Amino acid sequence: MTPTAAATSNVTQLKPQAAAPTATVVPLPAPAAKKPFFSPRAKTRMMEWGATVIPPLLTTAVLLILWEVLCSSPTSSLPAPSKVVSDTWELIANPFYDNGGNDKGLGWQLYASLKRVALGYALAAIVGIGLGALVGASTWAMRGLDPVFQVLRTIPPLAWLPLSLAAFRDGEPSAIFVIFITAIWPVIINTAVGIRNIPQDYKNVAQVLRLNPIEYFHKIMLPAAAPYIFTGLRIGIGLSWLAIVAAEMLIGGVGIGFFIWDAWNSSRISDIILALIYVGAVGFVLDRIVALIAVAVTRGTANA
Amino acid sequence: MSKAFLTIEHVDKSFTRGAMTNEVLTDISLSVNQGEFISIIGHSGCGKSTLLNIVAGLTQATKGVVFLEGKVVDEPGPERAVVFQNHSLLPWLTCYENVSLAVDKVFGRTKSKAERHDWVMHKLKLVNMEHAKDRRPSEISGGMKQRIGIARALAMQPKVLLLDEPFGALDALTRTHLQDQVMQIQAELNNTVLMITHDVDEAVLLSDRIVMMTNGPSARIGEILDVDLPRPRKRLELVSDRTYIAARAAVLKFLYERHKFVEAA
Ligand SMILES: Nc1ncnc2c1ncn2[C@@H]1O[C@H](COP(=O)(O)OP(=O)(O)O)[C@@H](O)[C@H]1O
Ligand SMILES: [Mg+2]
């Protein structure tokens, strides 16, 4: 930007410096000339990686040892980790076996649960963003709907199950409805807050450009509120996963929730523990997926 | 009705909040010719931004009318492009996309895709920002953001360009540089410009006329000063120019002698 026409016409000696502060680009460190076995950059990256990976590995190891020690006596009511692994080795090794009925591998059980969550959650996301946009954009919609939402959202997810069983007369749609009704409140509320917080500046830009309502919705409103919307979506996916396990316990059929309940009824405690680990892992992965989508969509304005 | 390009006629503005009424502007009248560069100067809080927003159509006047080419201004529009005080770029778009959002909206029907791309690139070049076209506002300096804001406004090919303290938040050296650029662009495109500033040198250097506002509440136009300096103007030569010195003195006198800023509580 130094060679501007303006700068050549009436320049003081200071001009190049005048331009400098605005154009300063932090140079990337130059690549190392000599190549040692590990380049210094690779070395620091490995150290950073180690610093983030080693602490959780250490705590997990300590917890496992503690658990092993506490549950190793033959009279212990809960199995030690070594016993869990040996008891459930069949399940770990064959996640996708299928003997018909409910007798399926844990992979299939999780898949069934995830399918229900995916459907209910997708519906909650679409309807939630729509309703949230309405409540955020219109004062009247807010006055009318906000009190209703505030009451409904305090109802525990499972309390909806009997009602939805009565309405749908079938376990499958009822479970999906429970997911939907669980996930929708944080989406609605966060979307509405995001839209209410759109800075006046952006609205002014939209007005000067005479954006029509549709253009305003997808060019200003959605991107401006995206970080808030994704906060809602992230809370929503967590709650969905919490709710599905409980709902499936009551509904039965294939699904990780009923698998746990079934294992309890036939006293397969090791199976329960293995299933819980899988549930935790899947919940964690779901949360990370939504967080990564958030970062990709908002181009870094939302927090991972 | 009037022959002038842009006229502001007897504009009053008051804000009412509950039982409180805050008279901000009283009886503002001003005629601006096509291609004229007008600065509005006044102490902070006197209502400069309010006046600019009325011309932009973002705020409605309580009384009075604004005409642009004989037509009443009653809503915002791209023919009165605004460069906002705090740049107002959309942070999720790149510099290029910020400008092309405006271009696609204004010229979506009249220009082809390739023409619109060239148009965006031309405006970015005008403010010397082609090199940063793919960066986001958070990745560039304040001066660069302001330049993208100017490029976006110019890209709408406005009849009137409205600048609200465009260089207020910048360091002195960057400001000098941008002032030169704005002068050069104005010479090239012969825009009609209304610029708010609180910088006396900036006002004298850039303007054909300087509108000096009295302090609020109920601010009015105190004085209008013609700056009779030939263009192109060169900052260094002007330092010792008599007309320049006289104009500068007149504005300073107005601001700091006759309408001294009284600190409100
Ligand atoms: N939307 C608004 N509601 C109420 N008062 C306002 C509003 N906008 C501006 N004002 C008042 O108008 C006065 C002038 O503000 P402004 O035009 O921003 O001044 P300037 O740009 O000259 O610093 C201030 O006293 C401010 O409090
Ligand atoms: Mg202002």
Q: Which domains does chain B have, with CATH numbers?
A: 1-79+162-168+198-265 (3.40.50.300)
* CA B30 – CA B10 distance, rounded (Å): 9
Q: Could you say which residues of chain A have pLDDT below 50?
A: 1-24, 32, 304
Closest residue CA from atom 16 of ligand 1: B47
The SS3 of residue A22 is helix
pLDDT of residue B57: 95
Q: Which residues in chain A have Cβ-Cβ distances shorter than 8 Å to B128?
A: 1, 4
CB contact under 8 A, A6 and B183: yes
Interchain proximity A202–B129, CB inside 8 Å:
no
- Per-residue confidence (pLDDT) for residue A129, from 0 to 100: 95
Position A7 scores a pLDDT of 40
pLDDT in 10s for each residue of chain B, 265 residues: 446 899 999 999 999 998 899 999 999 999 999 999 999 999 988 999 999 999 999 999 999 999 999 999 999 999 999 999 888 999 999 999 999 999 999 999 999 999 999 999 999 998 889 999 999 999 999 989 999 999 999 999 999 999 999 988 788 888 898 899 899 888 888 989 999 998 999 999 999 999 999 987 899 999 999 999 998 899 899 989 999 999 999 999 999 877 776 654 3
CB distance A22–B144 less than 8 Å?
yes
Nearest CA to ligand 1 atom 6: B15
Peptide bond into A213 cis (omega under 30): no
- Enter the ipTM: 0.89
Atom of ligand 1 nearest to the CA of B85: 21
Whether residue A12 lies inside any domain: the answer is no
| Residue of chain A whose alpha carbon sits nearest to that of B90 | A202
Other CB atoms closer than 10 Å to residue A65's CB: what's the count? 11
* Pairing outcome for strands B192-197 and B160-164: parallel
Q: Is the CB of B45 under 6 A from ligand 1?
A: yes
Residue A13 maps to a domain: no
CATH of the domain at A169: 1.10.3720.10
pLDDT (0 to 100) of residue B231 = 87
Give the model confidence (pLDDT) of A24-62 as tens digits: 455 555 554 555 667 788 888 888 888 889 999 999 999
| Best residue in A11, A207, A208, A218 for a mutation probing chain B (most B CBs within 10 Å) | A208
Nearest CA to ligand 1 atom 2: B15
Is residue B11 within 8 A of residue B51, CB to CB? The reply is yes
DSSP one-letter string for A41-95: HHHHHHHHHHHHHHHHHHHHHHHHHHHHHHT-STT-SS--HHHHHHHTHHHHH-T
The pLDDT, as a whole number, for residue B79 is 94
CA of B45 to the centre of ligand 2 (A): 7
User: Structural domain of residue A179, as residue ranges?
Assistant: 111-298
Give the mean pLDDT of chain B.
91
Q: Which of B131, B177, B236 sits opposite A19 (nearest CB)?
A: B177
Rg (CA), chain B: 19
Residues A14, B173: C-beta atoms closer than 8 Å: yes
Contact B177/A at CB under 8 A:
yes
Is A23 within the bounds of a domain?
no
Q: Is residue A66 part of a domain?
A: no
Q: Is residue A255 part of a domain?
A: yes
Q: Are A181 and A157 in contact (CB under 8 A)?
A: yes
What's the predicted TM-score (pTM) here? 0.78
Q: Is B13 helix (H, G, I), strand (E, B) or coil?
A: strand
pLDDT on residue B85: 86
Contact criterion met (CB below 8 Å) for B153 and B82: yes
Domain count, chain A: 1
Give me the residue from A6, A14, A205 closest to B88, CB to CB: A205
